[in-house]
Structure 1
Amino acid sequence: MPIRPARPDEAELLTGIALRAKAYWGYDEAFMAACREELTVDAAVIERASTFTVVAEDGGRARGFAVLAAAPPSGELAMLFVEPDRIGRGIGRALFRHVRDVARALGLRRLTIDSDPHAEAFYLAMGATRIGSTPSLSIPGRELPLMELELNPGV
């Protein structure tokens, strides 16, 4: 599956993937409206040197994307979303592994992830551990699983 750098002109397309993927978990309209700003991909973020946004293609179409925000010695998996009709087909795993490999190549020691509760099992399966919780940026009083992936243990 091809994974390539995102282009700034794809910001709206990627935002659509993020919104559809979040809605997949059955969140209501009020929840989705509250999350809209947080799930919006900005063309400037795609262009930022400290951010790496990649797109997974399947059949020549963008089917998922991930955003790595690097702040050595650590980084954050800021976003990882897959089109709902492609969930469970390996796109998320491919994106996660790609971001992990980019982070290692950058010399990062760990990645943190503010996970949706529905995605926690995925990140655990990918080798991350839960290290606590973090407040949602969109929903007051909501806590999200805070995950961590060690990239270079013992370094």
Structure 2
Amino acid sequence: MTEIIKANSDDAKILTEITKRSKAYWGYSEEQMNEWSDLLTITSEYIQSNEVYKLVINKSTAAYYSYFEIENNSVRLDNLFVSPENIGKGYGKLLMNDFILKIKQSQRSRIILDADPNAQKFYESFGFTKIGQIETSIIDRFLPIMELKLD
């Protein structure tokens, strides 16, 4: 059985594990992963203060996404991570479709996100466009800032 349900505070450890394993999947060095450790940690407080939904497959959490409201009737997709053993099975697409539908139903008009460079094409496949970029701690690496207008 596969379902997308709201995460709770007890999910912090598994969501952090998925985040870190998924990020490492893209070949970042151990040193870089250690530098990002705090940024990739999902706390119980984070789950309580943001909208966090997890994908559960046969009672096991396999992926999740999180977002929060920002100004001008917009939301920011903060995280979307799939455990490495589930990458390429369509679960990212399933989560994105669920997320976009939730935002459309909430009458919000825009989604914004900072994409890992490895995920830019994934987001473009849902209609997101690059509207800027942010320099990162890695030399010559930039995060695309992406937007989807829902008007």
Q: TM-score, normalised by structure 1?
A: 0.90
Q: Is the 8 A contact 1:70 1:103 kept in 2?
A: no
CA distance in 1, matches of 2:69, 2:95: 16
Mapped to 1, the partners of 2:66 and 2:135 lie a distance apart of 20
Partner Cα separation in structure 2 for residue 3 and residue 75 of structure 1? 19
Q: Please, what is the CA RMSD of the aligned residues?
A: 1.3
Partner of 2:121: 121
Q: Quick one: distance in 1 between partners of 2:102 and 2:69?
A: 10
In structure 2, distance between residues paired with 1:89 and 1:140:
30
- Contact 1:135–1:144, Cα closer than 8 Å, also in 2: yes
Moved more, 94-103 or 4-13: 94-103
Q: TM-score, normalised by structure 2?
A: 0.92
Distance 2:135 2:52 in 1: 24
Shift of 1:10: 0.7
Residue 36 of structure 2 aligns to a residue in which SS?
helix
Q: Which runs of 4+ in 1 moved over 6 A?
A: none
Matched-pair contact (CA < 8 Å) for 1:66–1:79: yes
Any gaps of 5 or more consecutive residues in structure 1? none
Match of 1:147 in 2: 146
Deviation at 1:135, TM superposition (A): 3.3
Residue type of the partner of 1:16?
E
CA distance in 1, matches of 2:77, 2:35: 21
Offset of 1:105 from its aligned partner? 2.1
> How many positions carry a matched residue from both structures?
148
Identity of aligned residues (%): 32
**Post-superposition offset of 1:91:** 0.9
Deviation at 1:101, TM superposition (A): 1.5
